[in-house]
Amino acid sequence: MKPNARSHISSVREPAAPAALYEQVKNFIRERVSAGEWKPGDRIPSELNLVDTLGVSRMTINRALRELTEQGALVRLSGVGTFVAESKPQSTLLMIAHIGDEIRARGHSYDYEILLQARETASVEVAAALDLPVGSSVYHVICVHREDGLPVQLEDRYVNPASAPDFLQQDFTAIRPSQYLLDTVPAHEIEHVVEAELPTPTEAKWLDIRADQPCLTLVRRTWARGLPVTFARFVHPGSRYRLGCRFQPDTMQQQS
């Protein structure tokens, strides 16, 4: 392994504008992970082993490991070692996607639980989001979505009764709230805002995380033919999930 590793480092020094040594080390580690030699959860060689294998200084190795840790590719545990980070599932950002379909597409088990299903009086925030007078009647559902038994999303959704009058009469153990709305009042306009925030104590309990664990929250509003339909917050533990997308600008312009 040592000769191969050293030749890897030396080979990337040949171009006219070679990458810094610590970047070469990062690439070496990424390639081992991509090739499956080091799998998620595996402990990688120690700094001293990497120094011996790659023939670079410990300072260079330390910087490479530190940056890969900051980027989420590695996890470093003091006194234990450095491990390949578990991959985070990614949810689409620009379009509406069903989390259950995404989870099943990865070959994992999916389940969800309805925590609240009620008619409520709209607060100032909810009324403004749905363009309703404060104190108006709104529908409210909260549910938690799990992947392989682990909570990955908390859905906190308000619905405009004028858009979906039969919403609360549905059996949401048989159909997800999002699926019912998509089937009944397909959105013609969507607004997405992503925020990084700490969960409330109740949200932390429902997501089975610490109250000081950062979360990614996707705030969504939808409209159907100009009428507000739903105002929802989707809270994801930052250590378990990520948001992102890939798209063609011309295609998105045609759809908008």
What is the predicted pLDDT for the residue at 256?
Answer: 32
CATH-assigned architecture of domain 90-243: 3-Layer(aba) Sandwich (3.40)
Q: What is the pLDDT of residues 68-104, one digit of tens each?
A: 887 778 888 877 889 888 765 544 444 556 788 888 8
What is the predicted pLDDT for the residue at 87?
Answer: 64
Query: What percent of the chain has pLDDT above 70?
Result: 82
Q: What is the mean pLDDT of residues 147-151?
A: 91
Residues 132/159, Cβ–Cβ less than 8 Å: no
Q: Do strands 215-224 and 150-159 pair parallel, antiparallel, or not at all (unpaired)?
A: unpaired
CATH class of 18-84: mainly alpha
What is the predicted pLDDT for the residue at 16?
Answer: 40
The C-alpha atoms of residue 150 and residue 146 are separated, in whole angstroms, by 5
Q: What is the mean pLDDT of residues 182-191?
A: 87
Domain extents in the chain: 18-84, 90-243
The overall pTM is greater than 0.75: no
170 is written with which tokens?
């549905």
What is the predicted pLDDT for the residue at 113?
Answer: 95
Residues 150/211, Cβ–Cβ less than 8 Å: no
The answer on pLDDT for 15 being more than 50 is: no
The C-alpha atoms of residue 176 and residue 207 are separated, in whole angstroms, by 18
Q: How many CB atoms lie within 10 A of CB 169?
A: 6
What is the predicted pLDDT for the residue at 85?
Answer: 82
